[in-house]
A and B are shown apart, each in its own frame.
Chain A
């Protein structure tokens, strides 16, 4: 019997799992996909927002500012890519300059540090490629960028190291409550029904469905889709900060930002009334993204595009995040409607979740042996001497598998053998980046697949690209 079962291993579920692993509790984390970080966490802008956007007094405002602080702290502890590059909200008209003042005021009230409005001259110094019609910007030095799936994976790993049980490929299909005990039934026949005293619902765009399994659907998720470009590192230097446009009722507008690994990300648009599963991109929407982005940063070369993707913001019909115990089911806590700034807020949402558990009677006793630290080898960041030493210790670090990102076999094997180890080609990509570069796995894909098969003693055909059934090979050639 678990004390707490968390449903959904995205950034919110992973943050809660790690937060709870600080305490003497029996905790499990349940994920329907074959890896963590497979939903909105792997398809978003990868921004750590400063916190001037949310309305004053909302949970979103409080959690955003706190989350921005915690993200910096946790990414250090967990060896996750994070850069505090600051953000700029750019105004293109006098009325938008007025909006900046509102944002500044709101940001100050929300407790965002060091906000200020800058004029065109300073903006141009910050961003030499800024659009010609830009008049000024709100500068937020505390904003940053992060590797979202890397963060989610690291949080999960650290939770597992500290005692959390992770169930993958465990799609929840029913939840029953009897005598204050929940029983969670999954679609996976090899996993017995899971019994727990409390449930944390962090199921993202399916959180309303999960809620509906055990009580009334107290809210409805209305996903909002957004489409993106990721461009080659040749385009990364075009922007130095996260560059937003002045917000409108459709959200924060198209942003242009470098990524933590030096690429450029451009997007997202906002599309409502979409199917939850519809993550397809469209020519029209991508053209719109391009046209809007040109206003912010001049001269982005889309011939250097390396990937398009679409992601879902898990919005509910309520304006704020939903962070509360269910009204119809005691002991069932919803962390739902986590739209932007959800990625930023997640570490703080986890603290709220713990507080709710405490308030409904869960005894929280800190573990003495909680280990907050995690390390990962980033070969190319080592000095020549360290590189030489690493190869001497393990010759696999002397073999480069991914030539675009310069990733060694040693790093790939490490990603497979880690606590929440990768077993798919994209799982490796999310952990240590082979295939993330300009050739998109054209050269390294076959070699990564071979290494996974070798390390996990699998036939080559059984290695998936990503989710279940995303097979790569169909069988041997004619003899």
Chain B
């Protein structure tokens, strides 16, 4: 069976990508989803706050997913659920996807183009090496969210949360509403990585203390978690002796970061950006393999699903153009470089021929900075664009848009940086 486009992952990025590709004239589209339903992680996000940008209203996660699923139901986009992609081959004109499911068994599917939209996974205790014993009762926040919202089971009664990422904050409120006592939210950095609105609505409103510049230095419990030791950290993030306090708890939730899930990508030989842990992409959200595109959290971790959908839409439009042979294979590639205090940028390169009016760049800063300029300079150091910001933080993705005329001044590369206001 030959498809024009196969989309791997039916979460918000994949749904938007498939829909936009269809709207742009692509007929044979297949979405492969490993879970039992479309929607991805949105299905376990029963809180509201989704869709403020896309739909101008506050939807819950499942409602937001339903909007896209309904949009797709009026198209002839196909999907297969409970289907796991084992590998993709990146060979030339025809790309092959190998997958399995319970009904059809082993599938070998051909496509002209592939969109990668597998999302991300959570960092674990092992990744951050919390010392101590290894009892049960330690969950990543998203896993706890699944148990509570999807399975209908509580994971504990006395809770400490490590990390103040958005899922952790949301779960602090969720656990409290379910009758658990959330003793503290502990954050290593001197600032939270979560959205400000979540700190207010999920911690402050329920009097849950946010311990900034603190971390967990010991796990206690032979069978089930019994307590954690929390210590203050110095400027180098090392625990300060003498500041230890023991918090009795049966549950520790970890909200310590998300990592794009790119094993299929890596196995297909697609180049990965060490900084984003996602594939390197160009202005079309295309990877270094022609005809394989990527979007959403598999490329870089977003704050808001609205922006994931937007990026998915872009990948879908680009894939449509690729299938219709409308992408100009430009000779000149403009590299986008991370300047001072910028951790990463997406896309990492652009081809001016394929940009009709303007290009938006997304990036994250390395720390909290007040009253700074976001600058874009060309390969010779000339200032092309400058935006002054009262505050920037790593927890909120930054964007800057350049018009084609501005991009044309790049002379080979553009460097995005934070510079002091002088």
Whether A associates with B in a native complex is: yes
Please, how many angstroms separate the alpha-carbon atoms of A356 and B415 in the complex?
76
Query: Contacts A465-B136, A469-B223 known; A474 to B131 CB distance under 8 Å?
Result: no
**In contact, B153 and A475 (Cβ under 8 angstroms):** yes
**Nearest chain-A residue to B122 (Cβ)?**
A442
Q: How far is the CB of A377 from chain B (nearest CB, A)?
A: 14
Contact of B105 among A302, A304, A391 (CB under 8 A): A391
Q: If the complex has contacts A387-B100, A400-B34, A470-B135, are A406 and B84 also in contact, measured as CB distance less than 8 A?
A: yes
**B100 and chain A: residue at smallest CB distance:** A398
Top 10 A-B residue pairs of the complex, sorted by shortest distance between their CB atoms: A465-B136, A469-B223, A400-B84, A388-B106, A395-B102, A398-B102, A307-B126, A470-B136, A391-B105, A440-B124
Cα distance A245–B84 in the bound complex, in angstroms: 42
B106 touches A391 (CB 8 A): yes
Q: Which residues of A contact B104 (CB under 8 A)?
A: 398
Shortest C-beta distance, B174 to chain A (Å), equals 9
In the assembled complex, the CB of B397 is this many whole angstroms from the nearest CB of chain A, namely: 21
B76 to chain A, nearest CB (A): 25
B101 lies within 8 A of A399 (CB): yes
Q: From A303, A392, A398, A446, name the one whose CB has the most chain B CB atoms within 10 angstroms.
A: A398
Interfacial residues of chain B within 170-207, with CB under 8 A of chain A in the complex? 178-179
- Given B103, B134, B135, B139, which contacts A309 in the complex, CB threshold below 8 Å? B134
- Evaluate contact between A475 and B124: CB separation under 8 angstroms: no
The number of inter-chain residue pairs (CB within 8 angstroms) is 141
A69-77, A275-283, A335-343 - interface stretch? A275-283
Is B98 on the interface with A (CB-CB < 8 A)?
yes
Within 8 A of B (CB), among A281-324: 281-283, 286, 302-309
Complex CA–CA separation, A307 to B124 (angstroms): 9
Given contacts A446-B151, A466-B136, A473-B154, contact A283 B131 (CB under 8 A): yes
Which residue from B34, B105, B132, B137 sits with its C-beta under 8 Å from A281?
B132
User: Residues of B contacting A280 with CB < 8 Å?
Assistant: 131-133, 218-219
**Nearest chain B residue, comparing its CB with the CB of A309:** B134
Q: If A281-B132, A305-B127, A440-B125 touch, does A450 touch B151 (CB 8 Å cutoff)?
A: yes
Given contacts A442-B143, A466-B136, contact A477 B152 (CB under 8 A): yes
Residues of A within 8 A of B7 (CB): none
Name B's A-contacting residues (CB within 8 A): 34, 82, 84, 86, 98, 100-106, 108, 121-122, 124-127, 129, 131-137, 139-140, 142-143, 146-148, 150-157, 178-179, 217-219, 222-224, 239, 250, 261, 263
Contact with B along A364-377 (1 / 0, CB 8 A): 00000000000000
Instruction: Give the shortest distance, in Å, between A35 (CB) and chain B (any CB).
Output: 14
Question: How many Å lie between the Cα of A387 and that of B107 in the bound state?
Answer: 10
Asked if A395 and B103 make an inter-chain contact with CB atoms under 8 angstroms apart, the answer reads yes
Can you sample 28 A-B contacts with CB below 8 Å? A230-B126, A279-B134, A280-B132, A280-B219, A281-B131, A282-B131, A283-B129, A306-B126, A307-B125, A307-B126, A384-B106, A391-B100, A397-B100, A398-B102, A438-B121, A441-B143, A442-B121, A442-B142, A446-B143, A446-B146, A465-B135, A471-B136, A471-B224, A472-B136, A473-B155, A474-B250, A477-B152, A478-B178
Nearest-Cβ distance from residue A174 to partner chain B, whole angstroms: 23
**A388 vs B133: C-alpha distance when bound (angstroms):** 42
Q: Does A467 contact B (CB under 8 A)?
A: yes
A460 interfacial by beta-carbon distance below 8 Å: yes
- Docked Cα-Cα span, A283 to B239, in Å, equals 10
Report chain B residues within 8 Å CB of A395: 102-103
| Residues from chain B with Cβ under 8 Å of A472 in the complex | 136-137, 155
- Given A281-B132, A439-B121, 9 further pairs, Cβ under 8 A: A277-B222, A303-B127, A306-B124, A307-B125, A399-B102, A403-B261, A467-B223, A468-B223, A472-B136
Q: CA–CA, A413 to B45, complex, Å? A: 30
User: Does A461 touch B at the CB level, under 8 Å?
Assistant: yes
Residue in chain B with minimal CB distance to A233: B263
Residues of B within 8 A of A470 (CB): 135-136, 223-224
Q: Does A396 contact B (CB under 8 A)?
A: yes
CB proximity of B382 to chain A, nearest CB, Å: 36
A318 to B64, CA, bound (A): 67
Interface SS of B by simple majority? mixed
Q: Which of A420-479 contact B (CB under 8 A)?
A: 438-443, 445-446, 450, 460-461, 464-478
Q: Are B105 and A475 in contact (CB under 8 A)?
A: no
Q: Could you tell me the distance between the alpha carbons of A460 and B102 in the complex, rounded to whole angstroms? A: 24
Closest CB of chain B to A464's CB: distance in Å?
A: 7
**Contact B178 A474, beta carbon cutoff 8 Å:** no
Query: Which B residues are CB-close (under 8 A) to A305?
Result: 126-127, 129
Closest-by-CB residue of B relative to A394 is: B102
Q: Is the CB of B98 within 8 A of A308?
A: no
Q: Which of A279, A403, A473 contacts B34 (CB under 8 A)?
A: A403
Contact A396 B147 (CB under 8 A): no
| Min CB–CB distance A442 → chain B (angstroms) | 5
B217 touches which of A283, A380, A440, A460 (Cβ 8 Å):
A283
Q: Is the CB of B152 within 8 A of A476?
A: yes
Which residue of A303, A399, A450, A475 is within 8 Å of B154 (Cβ)?
A475
Could you say which residues of chain B place their CB within 8 Å of the CB of A474? 153-157, 250
User: Given the interface contacts A384-B108, A392-B105, A399-B101, does A308 sit within 8 Å of B129 by beta carbon?
Assistant: yes
Distance of A99 Cα from B100 Cα, bound (Å):
54
- Complex: A468 Cα to B135 Cα, angstroms: 11
CA–CA, A446 and B36, complex, Å: 14
Q: Which residues of chain B are within 8 angstroms of A438 by Cβ–Cβ distance?
A: 121, 124
List B contacts of A406 (CB < 8 A).
84, 86
- Once the chains are docked, how many angstroms separate the CA of A464 from the CA of B224? 10
B84 touches A403 (CB 8 A): yes
Known interface pairs A281-B132, A387-B106, A403-B34. Does A477 touch B178 (Cβ–Cβ under 8 Å)? yes
Bound-complex Cα distance A460 to B154 (A): 11
A438–B150 Cα distance when bound, in Å, is 23
User: CA A470 – CA B121 in complex, angstroms?
Assistant: 25
Which residues of chain B come closer than 8 Å to A403, judged between CB atoms? 34, 84, 261
Which chain A residue shows the least CB distance to B101?
Answer: A398
Bound CA span A439–B122, Å: 7
Does the CB pair A476–B153 fall under 8 Å?
A: yes
Expressed in whole angstroms, the Cα–Cα distance for A474 and B250 within the complex equals 10
Nearest chain-B residue to A277 (Cβ)? B222
Q: Which residue of B lies closest to A395 (CB)?
A: B102
User: Once the chains are docked, how many angstroms separate the CA of A173 from the CA of B157?
Assistant: 34
What's the minimum C-beta distance from B83 to chain A, rounded to whole angstroms?
9
Shortest Cβ distance from B326 into chain A, in angstroms?
35
A348-372 vs B: 1/0 string, CB under 8 Å?
A: 0000000000000000000000000
B153 touching A440 by the CB < 8 A rule? Answer: no
A443-B121 contact given A384-B108, A387-B100, A450-B151, CB 8 Å threshold: yes
